Structure formats: C-alpha cells, structure tokens
Chains A and B, each alone.
Chain A
Amino acid sequence: MMEELRFLIEVLVGGLLSGVMYSLVAIGFVLIYKTSGVLNFAQGSMILFAALTVVSLLERGVPMALAIAVSLVGMIVIGMAIERTVLRPLVNRTPITLFMATLGVSYVIEGAAQLLWGAQVHGLDLGIDDSPLEIQGVLVSSFDLVAAAIAATMVAVLSAFFRLTRTGLAFRAVADDPFAALAVGLRLPAIWATVWATSGIVALVAGLLWGARLGVQFSLSMVVLKALPVLVLGGFDSVAGAIVGGLAIGAAEKLSEVYLGPLVGGGIESWFAYAVALAFLLIRPTGLFGRKPVERV
C-alpha cells in the first residue's frame, strides 16, 4: 500500500517536472502569440539552432559562458530578423498564412543550422548532476529540479521585465489592444522586435535544458509537439496558462501512461495529452486563461 502510494507520488512528481520543461517551450509560443497573433512554429527550430550553436562552439574549445553569449546574440538577431523579413511584410494577413510562413522559416533555420554546424549528434553537458535523489523514499531527478528552478527564474525575470520596464508595459498594452496601443503612440514594430528577440532568448534557455536531456540533434525541434497541448489547455495568450497547463499536461501524461497505458497496450503519451487538452476545451473553448474573442454584430 505504502509502496503503491510512493510510486504514485514518484510518477506525479516526475510528471510535474516534465511539465515544467513543456512550459518552457510553450512560453516562447505565448510571448509571440500574445503580441502578434502568430503561432510561431519556428520556435522548435530556433531551439535546435540555439542548442546546436552552443554545443558546436563548446566542441571547438570555446568556453561555456562565451558560447552561450554568442548563441544569445545569434538568437536575438534571428528573432528580430524573422520579425523584420517575414512577419512584418505579412502583417494583416490571416493567422493561418502567418502560421505557414513560420513553418517555411523553420525549414530555413533547420537547413541553415545543419549547414553551419553539420548534421551530427552531440551530447551537451551543462555540468548539472543527474544522479537520482531520494526524498522520503521518493525518487526525484536532481537535473529536473535544477531545470525547473532555471525555468522558474526565467519566468520571474520575464515577469519582472514586463511589469517593471517601459518596454514591458508597452508589450502588455499591445497584447491588450494593438489599436489602442498604436493610438497612444507606441511603436508596434519596436515592440514586436523586442518580443521576437525575447522569444529567441527563451528558445536558447529551452534549447540548453532540452539539449542536455535529449542530446543536441535534429529531433530537438520536435519538442514543440509537447508544447502544443499545453498551449491549448492553458490558452495561447496566457503565460500563466502555459505554466499551469504544462504542469497539468505533464502530470496527466505520465499518470495515464503508467496507469492507463497498460490497459490499451501503452505508448498512449503521444496523443493522450491532446485528448486531455481537447476534453478540457470542450468545456472551455479558449483554454484555462485564454481570452474569449468578443463578436460584435
């Protein structure tokens, strides 16, 4: 009995910690969706590019701090470049067109990343210990704890940025009402550029943590598929939703795989998260924290 309970807690904790990792990816989506209404599918390839840059520099003998700094600059440039060359010419186009454009961008980034750094598979060691930790007999991954802490720090920094700085306030104004923001003289393009640059930074953090978990390779970009149900559950335009949604999806996914999986033969994680999100949506069509569009007739 105790044994079962402990196992349940282990699964739950593991799920919540995985969920934090999903949130990390989801936040990158939310930032951009909130301000420019774009579901940026290139987020995955940005994650790949960021991690690949860091790891390739490390392998060429560049110190970690410098490698991260270079990648950081690179990601900011890429984020702003996408905004400038792709999204701005497409302003006022349908959301689906914007989405497809970011898919096109992801081809470009994936191709460029491999052209630049090769198609090899790399290990990425961030120097975070990954031996299992036993707390009250419950096994917890120390790496996941550290990763969660880093993710939490990033969210805190982002929140502080958006609450305390002028640009941040402008961001929130734009997210609330682009037309009003435009009317009071906020420069939309400058804010968009900032947001895209920020999403580049988020991609770097996600790339490093996920890269350390998976190794740095092409399939790193596929982590976005883990973030999509999180977005649906939490609402595309809510940072808080991305966090709560991530935790909920992570936990639900692991619990279902362990307890429900054996009943149907296992391997249900790939779609179960979507099913959970979908079931939830039928109750609340715009997610946990998503805003309901107002229709005027």
Chain B
Amino acid sequence: MTALRFLVLVTALAAGLPLVYSGSYLYDAILTPFLALSLAALGLNLLTGYAGQVSLGSSAFMAIGAYSAYNLTLRIPGLPLVAILLASGGITAAIGLVFGLPSLRLRGFYLAVSTLAAQFFVQWALNKFGWFSHDSASGVISAPALQAFGFRFESPVARYDLSLAVVVLLTALAFRLSRSQTGLNLIAIRDHETAARVIGVSVVKTKLLAFLISSFLIGVAGVLWSFAYLRTIEPNGFTLDRSFQILFIIIIGGVATIRGAFIGAAFMVLLPLGLSNLGAALLPKSFDSGVLEMSLKVVQGSLIVLFLIVEPNGLAALGQRLWRRALPVRSGSKPDAQPFAPPLPETLNGEI
C-alpha cells in the first residue's frame, strides 16, 4: 500500500466516524486533542526528527499560534478562517525563525537549552503585555468559535471535523515535503552537516527553513488546541511540560517519520486516559484517588522508559515490523531487486 493511499484511507475512516458514533467524549476529550498534538508533533518532527535540531520550545510556539488567532479574530472582524489559520501559522513561523537563529551556531543540548529561552520569554511576554489578551482582566481568554462560510464550528463533532481537515491537509503537504529535495536536505544536515555543505546544501537556509515550517505547523496546532479543543487560551497551558510532551510524542512515536507523530500522539494521549479510566473501572470507589494517580504516574514513567529501551526507532518501527510480519508476501516485493526505480515520489521512501 503506498503512503498516499494509506493516508486517504485513514482520512476517510476518520471523516466517516461521526456518521457512526457521535458521543462527545470521544471527540472532545480524545480525538480533537489527539489531532492538535499530532500536528504539533509533526511540526517538531520536521525540525528535530528530520533536520536534527532539538527544540524544547514547542509549546511557546503553540501559544504564539493561539494568541495570534485570537488577536486576528478580535481585531480584524470577518477575516476568513483560512486566512486566520494561515496568518497565525505565518506569525508563528516568523517568530520561530528568529528563535531558530542560534541553531546556526549551537548544537545538541546547547541548542536545546537555548530554545528554552524562547519558551520562557514567550510565556513572559504574553503574560506581561495585556494587549495580547485584549486587556482581559484575568488574562485568560475565552476563545470565540471559529467560523467559515457562515458556519460556526461549535459542536464537538464540528470542531473535530475542522481539526481533521486542517491536520490531514497539512500532513499531506508535510509528507510531500519530506519526500522532496528540500526534505532530503533536512536529513542531510542532520546526518552530516559538513558533507551536506560540501555537496551544496545551504545549511543556513535549510536550518532556518526547518524552523520556519516547523513553527508554522506548531502554530496552527496551537490554534486547534485552543480554539477547537480547549476553547480557552491561557499562558499557563503552554508550559515546558507541554514541550516535553510533544518531544515525547516524536521520540516514542518514531523520529523522522510522518506516522510517528500520530502513533506517538495516540500513545501519549491515550496512555494516561486509558490508565486513569482503567483505574477508575477496576478499583473500588473507596480506593484513595491520590494513591491511584501517583501509581499511574509511576506506571506511565516506567512505560515510557520501557518503550525507549525496547524500541529504538519508536512505535512506528514496531508497527512496521508487525505489519510486515502480518503480510509476508508483500514484504517480498520490496523494490530491492528492481533495476530501475519508478518515479521518484513513491520510491524515495516507500512508507509514511
């Protein structure tokens, strides 16, 4: 199955889901945040997974996206939804570019820690300057409903559908990017910056481009997170913990794969929910909920460590192995033996 066909199939299933089932818990508590986090992780994966630039500032960029969208809807009434999304992503991308400048000089943990400057500075600035929150007395903003073509995305399913559409479109574009010459350039500077420079990859341009595109996606993810999911924007919601969460998603899901962002997000969203629901279901009601939650935290931490140990390439690789095992015939038709490759898009790397 080619990657694009797979994407279409999953999208069709996801889009058809509300026809079958419409309970709001599924959409409002699981799928919508899952989509928003997946998109953020996708953005971070382009930067960290593909281009090798570790960032701990993702949640700051989500915040920038969210605040941009809020101010755009507020200050330019009637701005179409598509424009809001594009502009919010664009503003985030521009700021991401600035915070990407140190990457030209720093690497590894030095770069990672320097992105924390972005994290703390953005949080401070959004909190400090009342303009960003329309001088709201409490600084916590209630996000207005997004509208397009006279339709208000208000019900859980509508907000899910909107998120799905945005995420699918951007994922398709990110997928195309990852297969393009520019996508190869990202990997080149990650794997061997010197060699990349020698063969003519512009390291400056490529790194900044990685920050630009990554921030764009994360910014849009921030809009979805605040407008489609929480429907409130508060700077405290975009803390370092969220940045870590997004980083976890790509490391556990699979670095430098598109599907890793989704698998990882599913893991990170569903694991705590699953454990918490399971605990609530299995244990007697009198059971101390504090003890339960702390135990869950221990379990969650242990599972993360365990997955890191047993699966170096993330759940994406694990899934791929299981898939191959399930379909032994197909794996034989890997194009190793083919003398000439079919057109580039499909063959540069056969899977998402």
Contact = CB atoms under 8 A, between A and B. Distances in A.
A binds B: yes
Interface of A: 39, 86, 89-90, 93, 95-97, 99-101, 103-112, 114-115, 119, 225, 228-229, 231-232, 236, 264-265, 267-268, 270-271, 274-275, 277-278, 281-282, 285-287, 290, 295, 297
Given A39-B109, A281-B105, A297-B194, A104 B114 contact: no
Contact of A231 (B113, B290, B300, B301): B113
A86 B301 contact: no
B110 A281 contact: yes
B208 to A, nearest CB: 16
Contact of B298 (A96, A107, A281): A107
Contacts, number: 126
Main secondary structure of the interface of A (DSSP, over half): helix
A275 B118 CA distance: 9
A118 to B, nearest CB: 8
B298 A97 contact: no
A269 B128 CA distance: 13
A101 B305 contact: yes
Given A104-B308, A274-B117, A278-B102, 5 more contacts: A96-B112, A104-B305, A108-B301, A274-B121, A277-B113
B228 interface: no
Contacts of A99: 109, 112
Interface in B291-329: 291, 294-298, 300-302, 304-305, 308-309, 312
Contact of B102 (A97, A119, A231, A281): A281
Contact of B114 (A115, A225, A278, A297): A278
B16 interface: no
B108 interface: yes
Contacts of A114: 290, 294
A108 B298 contact: yes
Interface string B192-219: 0011000000000000000000000000
Contact of B244 (A93, A103, A105): A103
B124 interface: yes
Contacts of A225: 116, 240
B35 interface: no
A104 B301 contact: yes
Which of A86, A232, A264, A286 has the most chain B CB atoms inside 10 A of its CB?
A232
B44 to A, nearest CB: 12
Interface size class of B (residues with CB under 8 A): 35 or more
B301 to A, nearest CB: 3
Contacts of B247: 96, 100
Interface in B165-214: 194-195
B128 A229 contact: no
Contacts of B251: 96-97, 100
11 contacts: A93-B312, A100-B247, A104-B302, A112-B294, A114-B294, A115-B291, A228-B113, A267-B127, A268-B124, A274-B113, A297-B194
Given A96-B54, A100-B248, A267-B124, A285 B110 contact: yes
**Interface centre among A96, A228, A278, by most B CB within 10 Å?**
A278
B106 interface: yes
Given A285-B105, A297-B194, A274 B300 contact: no
Contacts of B302: 104, 108
Nearest to A98: B308
Contacts of A229: 113
Contact of A232 (B48, B113, B127, B308): B113
Contacts of B127: 267
Contact of A271 (B54, B105, B107, B124): B124
Nearest to B307: A104
Nearest to B48: A96
Given A95-B109, A232-B114, A286-B110, A90 B301 contact: no
B117 A271 contact: yes
A54 to B, nearest CB: 20
Given A105-B305, A270-B124, A110 B194 contact: no
A107 B120 CA distance: 22
B308 A97 contact: yes
A104 B302 CA distance: 7
Contacts of A268: 124
